[in-house]
Amino acid sequence: MSETAPSWLPSGFGAILPSGRWWDAVRVPSFVGTRAVGVLRERSGPVVEDQFARTMTWFVPAGATAGWDAGLLGVQILGRGLALLVPAADALDSRRFVVWWAIPPNATCLTDPDALRGALEQAR
């Protein structure tokens, strides 16, 4: 992880953080998320995987999901008024953590929303 990680990124333990403040979150079933990662490749920002819920979640700039048709894309948009369990910055091992970073955090932890949307459309 970058030494210039965002200030909101939890350390030590995960934390439930509000969406719509620093980021909006885009959550998809893991089978769709895995395909989207393959489409995005190096354009993907960090991804949180919840092995219990079988979901993958990306972070995009706050407000960037306005106008997305979640039903059409088969995604869950977590914007203002919702929250997400964000794992600690060092939760990088799927054998030790149920909620972990499938793609490790970086300086912004954000993915370009247009690239993500296109990848999700291709993955569907």
pLDDT tens track for 85-101? 999 999 998 888 899 99
pLDDT tens track for 29-56? 999 999 999 999 999 999 999 999 999 9
Q: Does 3 score more than 80 pLDDT?
A: no
Residue type, 96: R
E strand residue ranges, 30-86: 47-50, 55-61, 76-78, 83-86
Residue 86 in tokens: 């964000």
Q: What is the pLDDT confidence band of residue 105, given thresholds at 50, 70 and 90?
A: very high
